[in-house]
């Protein structure tokens, strides 16, 4: 089994679920359920929090970062966004076999480029844009090639263009291959510290995709609607449901086509963490491709910083 240490003992690392929860929402729970990875323990700058997480998950709390990293074959980096670059640089000094990092890759493009310089060709890095690790989205990526030309889309998000909006941008890049910033509208919503949410338009396969910011202090939302020549796709409830509508001749008005619901699929979003570790295992065991690479994360980071109007 591969020895794992988690750096950071917050919600995504430990707090969103517990060992007896029916859903797997944390890195700790995914490690506990895996037959390939053994969770050795937690390090957090707040030792009390690391100790609480370790007691919860039956592992060790490290008081020193050096002791934690010296023991790890796989390091999972779950520190706050502003510290990603600093911590990833520190982790690299111990040359683990794999680093798994929470998104975003870094807090600035310059920091992201530094991470690339340190890691590329030396230490593999797997970034947790979670929808890439769910089979339903892999199936959707194959299916949309049959839907004809992409016409237009709209998505709703909040809690920062980098913190949460980057999930939507990465999903579009995963599904379509690329996205570019076309326009950013005036005004912003300050619903995540130092990372406002903005209304904008991306260019996806030459067609507009409107990203509209909804204040996360009022409600949490992550939804997309994609229109094609022969289909309409709705990704709902944070990605836990996918609806596909097919174009069919109107039964009422001759010569007109309508979008008609063809199938609705539930997505077990709690399987994303297991999918992440499955990808990590197949990479370590047999050299399979990582599903979300450092380069994927750097591309999203550049686009988010362009949207924020910061130098890239």
**Tens digits of per-residue pLDDT, 132-172?**
999 999 999 999 999 999 999 999 999 999 999 999 999 99
Q: Are 26 and 273 in contact (CB under 8 A)?
A: yes
Domain boundaries for CATH 3.40.50.720 within the chain: 2-131+272-304
**Average pLDDT value over all residues in the chain:** 96
User: What ranges in 93-229 are assigned the alpha helix state H?
Assistant: 109-119, 135-143, 165-176
Token output for 211: 């990203």
**Tens digits of per-residue pLDDT, 9-23?**
999 999 999 999 999
Token output for 51: 């100790």
Window from 2-6, 79-83, 229-233 with minimum mean pLDDT? 79-83
The Cα 253–Cα 160 span in angstroms is: 44
The Cα 161–Cα 168 span in angstroms is: 9
Residue 296 has pLDDT above 70, yes or no: yes
Phi, psi torsion values for 127, nearest 5 degrees: -100, 140
The Cα 7–Cα 102 span in angstroms is: 11
The answer regarding whether domain 135-267 maps to CATH 3.10.130.10 reads no
Domain boundaries for CATH 3.30.360.10 within the chain: 135-267
Return the pLDDT at 312: 57
CATH class of 2-131+272-304: alpha beta
- Please report, rounded to a whole number, the percentage of residues in the chain having pLDDT higher than 70: 99
The Cα 25–Cα 34 span in angstroms is: 14
Give the count of beta carbons closer than 10 Å to the beta carbon of residue 286: 7
**Tens digits of per-residue pLDDT, 81-109?**
999 999 999 999 999 999 999 999 999 99
Sheet holding 37-43, edge to edge: 60-62, 37-43, 2-7, 74-77, 98-102, 125-128
254 or 171: whose pLDDT is higher? 171
Q: How far is CA 270 from CA 127, 204, 226, in A?
A: 17, 28, 24
**Tens digits of per-residue pLDDT, 34-69?**
999 999 999 999 999 999 999 999 999 999 999 999
Phi, psi torsion values for 151, nearest 5 degrees: -100, -45
Within 13 Å and on the Cβ side, how many CA atoms surround 3?
11
User: What band does 311 get if pLDDT is binned at 50, 70 and 90?
Assistant: low
The Cα 217–Cα 160 span in angstroms is: 11
Token output for 42: 């937690």
Return the pLDDT at 152: 98
Letter string b/e over residues 85-105, b meaning 16 or more CB atoms within 10 A of that residue's CB: bebbebbbebebebbbbbbbb
- What DSSP line would sit under 187-214, residue for residue? --B--STT--B--EEEEETTEEEEEEE-
Q: How far apart are the first and last CA of the chain?
A: 40
SS3 181: strand
Angle at 70 between CA 69 and CA 73, to 5 degrees: 75
User: What ranges in the chain are assigned the alpha helix state H?
Assistant: 27-33, 47-57, 65-71, 84-92, 109-119, 135-143, 165-176, 272-286, 294-307
Angle at 227 between CA 226 and CA 229, to 5 degrees: 145
Q: For the residues 260-274, what does the mean pLDDT come to? A: 94
């Amino acid at each position: 089994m591969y020895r794992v240490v988690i750096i950071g003992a917050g919600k995504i690392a430990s707090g969103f679920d517990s060992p007896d929860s029916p859903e797997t929402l944390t890195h700790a729970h995914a490690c506990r359920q895996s037959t390939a990875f053994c969770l050795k323990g937690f390090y957090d700058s707040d030792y009390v929090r690391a100790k609480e997480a370790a007691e919860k998950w039956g592992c060790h709390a490290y008081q020193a970062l050096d002791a934690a990293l010296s023991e790890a074959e796989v390091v999972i980096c779950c520190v706050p966004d502003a510290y990603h670059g600093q911590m990833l640089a520190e982790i690299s000094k111990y040359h683990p076999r794999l680093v798994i990092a929470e998104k975003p890759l870094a807090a600035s493009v310059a920091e992201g480029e530094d991470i690339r310089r340190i890691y590329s060709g030396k230490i593999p890095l797997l970034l947790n844009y979670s929808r890439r690790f769910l089979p339903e989205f892999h199936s959707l990526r194959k299916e949309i090639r049959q839907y004809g030309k992409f016409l237009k889309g709209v998505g709703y998000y909040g809690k920062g263009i980098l913190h949460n909006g980057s999930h939507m941008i990465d999903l579009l890049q995963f599904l379509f291959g690329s996205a570019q910033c076309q326009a950013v509208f005036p005004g912003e919503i300050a619903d995540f510290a130092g990372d406002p949410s903005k209304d904008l338009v991306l260019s996806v396969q030459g067609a507009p995709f409107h990203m509209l910011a909804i204040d996360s202090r009022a409600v949490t939302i992550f939804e997309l609607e994609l229109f094609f020549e022969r289909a309409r796709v709705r990704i709902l409830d944070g990605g836990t449901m996918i609806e596909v509508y097919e174009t069919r001749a109107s039964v009422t008005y001759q010569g007109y086509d309508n979008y008609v619901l063809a199938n609705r699929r539930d997505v077990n979003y709690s399987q994303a963490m297991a999918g992440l570790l499955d990808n990590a295992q197949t990479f370590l065991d047999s050299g399979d491709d990582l599903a979300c690479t450092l380069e994927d994360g750097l591309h999203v980071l550049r686009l988010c910083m362009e949207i924020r109007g910061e130098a890239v």
